[in-house]
């Protein structure tokens, strides 16, 4: 670095780099924070955030302590002419005890509150909790409400102020449930059920996603949680519990869609009914339950807005919308697609 006559370095390029870096970093401070664990909206997420802050501040104490000692030693023992080398310290019992005890104490200060939070969540009283079975699939989410006989996909509906107990499992590989502002992450494994308990404290819409690499479209495995006030939740339940409209009330196009849905194709795995369930029509379980699919916020693992255009694109070529999609392109004609879109969207 060159110095001008004021002793100031010609730091223009470096200054610009620092300024730009700081500005870019500051943009991270601008809200909203849809997936930030730092704006918790459940008591469990509050506890997790508290633990993070505790560990962060212990990290700050250790960092500052170490840096102060390093700077002091650099200054105090720097090489100077005519000063002999300092005497090395060996076998200083007090020092040995001090630098063994200090880290051990810090670990205790971190471990005790961590275990308290783990036990609090694991031992939470769930007698009054809303029970929801969550099944991870490549690459979408299934949410079942045994209390109400409802099954939905990619939209998780919760109740403000009522504890929820999620029973998490997988239909295939390992996934991880992560709803940053309410709680998580928790692994979802085939043949095992993990629990997650929390009580949402704010009405709103919250984003979640899979947090364990689970194949091609892991990054496209998202979901939305809707936390409702009690009256809104009751009307959502009522809507979902309603059976599909009788066939006779469907429009002509919707009826054609229902026929296309029911059609048995070759190979049989190309039939909609082989994988999807609609009450009174089919019982497939490999793909999302399609009861009330028209009322959902998204399609295809939470990545597409639930619009007629996106649904048509999805039916035409699922893998083009979600790479690796396990739903095949089944070679539907444009007429069949238009009819299926009309029928599926009528399932409100």
CA gyration radius, the chain: 29
Which residue from 156, 166, 175, 206 is in contact with ligand CUA, where contact means CB under 6 A? 175
Residue 124 · residue 193 · CB < 8 Å: no
Closest separation between CB of residue 269 and ligand CUA, Å? 22
222 sits near ligand CUA (criterion: CB under 6 A): no
303 sits near ligand CUA (criterion: CB under 6 A): no
Closest separation between CB of residue 311 and ligand CUA, Å? 23
Number of residues that bind ligand CUA (CB under 6 A): 9
Residue 89 · residue 124 · CB < 8 Å: no
Shorter beta-carbon distance to ligand CUA: residue 136 or 208: 136
Shorter beta-carbon distance to ligand CUA: residue 209 or 291: 209
- Which DSSP letter does residue 200 get? B
How many CB atoms neighbour CB 294 within 10 A? 17
Q: Which residues contact 163 (CB under 8 A, 6 or more apart)?
A: 124, 125, 126, 128, 129, 130, 197, 198, 199
Which residue from 181, 186, 218, 292 is in contact with ligand CUA, where contact means CB under 6 A? 218
Structure tokens at 129: 């909790």
Shorter beta-carbon distance to ligand CUA: residue 219 or 253: 219
Residues 51-80 that bind ligand CUA (CB under 6 A): none
Shorter beta-carbon distance to ligand CUA: residue 218 or 276: 218
In degrees and rounded to multiples of 5, residue 190 shows phi and psi of: -60, 130
Shorter beta-carbon distance to ligand CUA: residue 188 or 337: 188
Shorter beta-carbon distance to ligand CUA: residue 154 or 256: 154
Which residue from 159, 221, 275, 311 is in contact with ligand CUA, where contact means CB under 6 A? 221
d(CA 318, CA 298): 14
Residues 186-215 that bind ligand CUA (CB under 6 A): 210, 212-214
Shorter beta-carbon distance to ligand CUA: residue 51 or 171: 171
Closest separation between CB of residue 213 and ligand CUA, Å? 6
276 sits near ligand CUA (criterion: CB under 6 A): no
Q: Is 291 exposed, middle or buried (0-12, 13-18, 19+ CB in 10 A)?
A: buried
Q: Which residues contact 324 (CB under 8 A, 6 or more apart)?
A: 138, 139, 215, 216, 217
Residues 127-166 that bind ligand CUA (CB under 6 A): 136, 139
Closest separation between CB of residue 111 and ligand CUA, Å? 29
Closest separation between CB of residue 75 and ligand CUA, Å? 51
Q: Which residues contact 344 (CB under 8 A, 6 or more apart)?
A: 257, 261, 290, 293, 294, 311
In 28-92, which ranges are continuous DSSP H helix? 43-76
- The footprint of ligand CUA (CB under 6 A) covers 136, 139, 175, 210, 212-214, 218, 221
């Amino acid at each position: 670095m060159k110095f001008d006559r004021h002793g100031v370095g010609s730091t223009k390029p470096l200054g610009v780099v620092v300024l730009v870096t700081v500005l870019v970093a500051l943009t991270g401070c601008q809200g909203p924070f849809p997936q930030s664990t730092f704006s918790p909206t459940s008591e469990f997420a509050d506890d997790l955030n508290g633990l993070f802050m505790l560990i962060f501040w212990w990290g700050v104490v250790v960092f500052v302590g170490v840096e102060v000692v390093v700077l002091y030693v650099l200054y105090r023992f720097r090489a100077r002419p005519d000063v002999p080398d300092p005497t090395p310290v060996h076998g200083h019992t007090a020092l040995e005890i001090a630098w063994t005890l200090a880290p051990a104490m810090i670990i205790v200060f971190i471990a005790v509150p961590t275990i308290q939070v783990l036990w609090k969540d694991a031992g939470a009283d769930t007698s009054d909790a809303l029970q929801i079975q969550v099944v991870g699939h490549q690459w979408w989410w299934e949410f079942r409400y045994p209390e109400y006989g409802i099954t939905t996909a990619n939209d998780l509906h919760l109740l403000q102020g009522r504890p929820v107990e999620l029973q998490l499992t997988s239909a295939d590989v390992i996934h991880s449930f992560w709803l940053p502002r309410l709680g998580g992450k928790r692994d979802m494994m085939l043949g095992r059920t993990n629990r997650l308990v929390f009580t949402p404290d704010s009405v709103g819409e919250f984003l979640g996603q899979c947090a364990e690499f689970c194949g091609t479209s892991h990054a496209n495995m998202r979901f939305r949680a809707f936390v409702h006030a009690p009256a809104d939740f009751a009307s959502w339940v009522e809507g979902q519990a309603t059976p599909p409209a009788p066939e006779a009330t469907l429009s002509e196009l919707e009826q054609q869609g229902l026929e296309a849905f029911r059609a048995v194709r070759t190979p049989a795995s190309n039939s909609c009914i082989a994988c999807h369930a609609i009450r009174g029509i089919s019982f497939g379980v490999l793909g999302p339950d399609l009861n009330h699919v028209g009322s959902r916020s998204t399609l295809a693992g939470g990545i597409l807005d639930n619009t007629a255009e996106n649904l048509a694109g999805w039916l035409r070529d699922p893998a083009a919308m979600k790479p690796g999609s396990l739903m095949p392109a089944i070679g539907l004609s444009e007429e069949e697609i238009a009819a299926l879109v009309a029928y599926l969207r009528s399932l409100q």
